[in-house]
Amino acid sequence: MQTIALMNQKGGVGKTTTTVNLGAALAELGKRVCLIDLDPQAHLTINYGVEPGAEGVVNMYDVLVEDRSFLEAVHQIDHNIALVPSSIDLAAAEVELVSVVGRETLLKEKLESAQHDFDYILIDCPPSLGILTINALSFADEVIIPMQPHFLALQGVAKLLETVQLVNRRVNPRLKVGGIVLTMFDAQTKLSMEVVAELKNFIEQAKGKPLPWAAAKVFNTRIRRNIKLAESPSFGQTIIKYDPASNGATDYRNLARELIGLPPLAASAPAVAAAKPVAAPKAVAAAPTPAPMPTPVAAKPPPAPVPAALPVTARPAPIVTPAAAPVVAVAPRPVVKAPFGLAPAKAQATPPAPASVKPASTAQPAQPAPAPAPRPVAPKAPVQVAVNPTIDQKKLAASNAPAAAPRPASMTPAPVTPART
């Protein structure tokens, strides 16, 4: 029988996960394994689907405080696996056992008095260096330290080794450090490799000295990050049953084999698709190896066919509207005011000049027509006025004086007062 305590005072490094799955891997190899849950959080107990502190279930609190037999607390969980459950009441055990003489060796006495045939006893210790951890170290043969490859976890190992050395000197002379298991390992990070180098260097310096970790080692099996390891407890199963083909299952199988001195499993390539078994071909006489054929040159692809031209529908020619000739302003003619009593002569209307229209077929833009030259105005013939012999000639001459300047059309002409005769 070999008793192994998995301990680390730093929490969250994978102590319970390693205890559960390492025990399952050892049981798969045919070893009879007993798992003892000394953690008041009872995560090992919950992982196997057992209710912590359930009525009628004897647990570690009953064994240490209530003086119940160890065999009463052993419960068969699976083939080759037995469990000693925990309870939240274990958190008060340190206070209740303060007045008990030899409280550091209570677990040792209970286990030595029990008759059992287990090959391995794995003890899941709490994340502290209290009375429960001391009880585990007082009975264990060796210690396995699960730890993450981080700087802070590396610093905590020194304090843990001091506790192991103290228990080895005063309580359990056969206690030794079996090795360090790196959990949640990522080989692609530089920090992980630096922590591995520091651990190996530390252990190398202790060889040949009277120290409990002089024969320790860093296990070659590293537990890689795997989400399946986090999922399996919610189903109350170990990784061996939850996903036997996962990286987590492979890593813990190899750790169990390394622990008992067996070679690791060969790394298998991931299966792409399930193929049907094919019968082995019959032995055929070896034929001469043919000469290598020249590599065929890939033929150029034929040119893409040119699509046939689509029929073009003739569009009607655009209708060109002749540009309108610019309007030329014509200066108004002066209005000659006729003498009193005579109607003014009517001005002849000047016909507008025809707009120049270019033919529609001409593509050039229309140009404005030049302004027409002003027509010469013929002098008006003198108007023959019959002279009334009764009219005074001087007044008549005065009335034939030139007319005043024309008024605007909007203004009414001033009335003309006839001259008195």
pLDDT for position 361: 45
Q: Which of 245-254, 394-403, 405-414 has the largest mean confidence?
A: 245-254
Q: Is 120 helix (H, G, I), strand (E, B) or coil?
A: strand
| Angle between helical axes of 151-170 and 190-206 (0-180°, round to 10) | 20
Per-residue pLDDT tens digits for 333-366: 554 444 444 444 444 445 554 544 444 444 455 5
- The domain 2-260 having CATH identifier 3.10.20.30: the answer here is no
pLDDT for position 295: 52
Of 40, 5, 1, whose CA–CA distance to 19 is shortest?
5
Read off the pLDDT of each residue in 188-199 and give the average, rounded to a whole number.
87
pLDDT for position 421: 47
Higher pLDDT, 374 or 223: 223
82: left (phi over 0), alpha (psi -120 to 50) or beta: beta
Across the beta sheet with 176-182, the strand order is 75-78, 81-84, 33-37, 120-124, 2-6, 142-147, 176-182
Alpha helices in 245-377 (DSSP H): 247-260
pLDDT for position 269: 43
Higher pLDDT, 11 or 301: 11
Among the residue ranges 162-166, 211-215, 408-412, the one predicted with the least confidence is: 408-412
pLDDT for position 246: 92
Q: Are 229 and 189 in contact (CB under 8 A)?
A: no
Label residue 115 by pLDDT band (50, 70, 90). confident
Going from N- to C-terminal start, the domains of the chain cover 2-260
Q: Is 37 helix (H, G, I), strand (E, B) or coil?
A: strand
pLDDT for position 263: 86
Per-residue pLDDT tens digits for 3-44: 999 998 888 888 999 999 999 999 999 999 999 999 999 999
Read off the pLDDT of each residue in 270-290 and give the average, rounded to a whole number.
44
**Average pLDDT score, the chain:** 75
Is the pLDDT confidence value at 292 over 80? Answer: no
